[in-house]
Homo-oligomer: A and B are copies of this chain.
Amino acid sequence: MNLKQGDAVHKSNDKSRLRLWLKLLKSSNLIEDQLRRFFRDKHSTTLPRFDVMAALSRYPSGLKMSEISGLLRVSNGNVTGIVDRLNSEGLVQRVSVPGDRRAHLVILTSEGEKMFEHLVGEHTTWINEKLGGISLEEVKGFIKRLDYLNKTLEDEK
């Protein structure tokens, strides 16, 4: 075995990239767990509920139920429950689709938008406190690496 072959074997068995993936998964789970607790304890709300409002806020002209569950990768049944609840609280409303009497779109009400903006603000403040030990300069470098990683992963799809 010459040096070059040795290198290749070493490279394909190297565990660093596997460790990177495991650590990424760990970060993501840690943040998600803590965020879930934050929403529950401080705002009596849930992460899926926040995610539904976030999706609706990105599409002000409304989304079908199936589009919401597609965007969020949660089941239609769960989305139905969440939207029913938000609707009864006046945060979203269902509007009919012109030309299709059976279909409807869900949109945020203005009260829903206000509530969502409030939660985004709280969420931002919370993350800034939580990750305050990481300087904005450092955050920038981190984001650059994640952008590169995400681009690599999307290109390979």
Q: Which residues of B contact A142 (CB under 8 A)?
A: 20, 145, 149
> How many A residues have CB within 8 A of the partner chain?
51
A 97-138 to B, binary, CB cutoff 8 A, 1 in contact else 0: 000000000000000000000000101110111110110101
Contact at B20–A143, with CB atoms within 8 Å?
yes
Contact at A25–B28, with CB atoms within 8 Å?
yes
Contact at B25–A134, with CB atoms within 8 Å?
no
A 10-25 to B, binary, CB cutoff 8 A, 1 in contact else 0: 0111111111110111
Contact at B17–A128, with CB atoms within 8 Å?
yes
Does A157 have its Cβ within 8 Å of any Cβ on chain B?
A: yes
Copies of this chain per assembly: 2
Contact at A131–B34, with CB atoms within 8 Å?
no
Contact of A153 among B130, B136, B150 (CB under 8 A): B130
Does A30 have its Cβ within 8 Å of any Cβ on chain B?
A: yes
Contact of A18 among B26, B127, B156 (CB under 8 A): B127
Q: Provide 14 A-B residue pairs closer than 8 Å at the C-beta atoms, listed in order of the A residue.
A: A12-B129, A13-B121, A13-B125, A17-B130, A17-B131, A18-B124, A20-B131, A24-B146, A25-B31, A27-B153, A34-B157, A130-B153, A133-B148, A142-B149
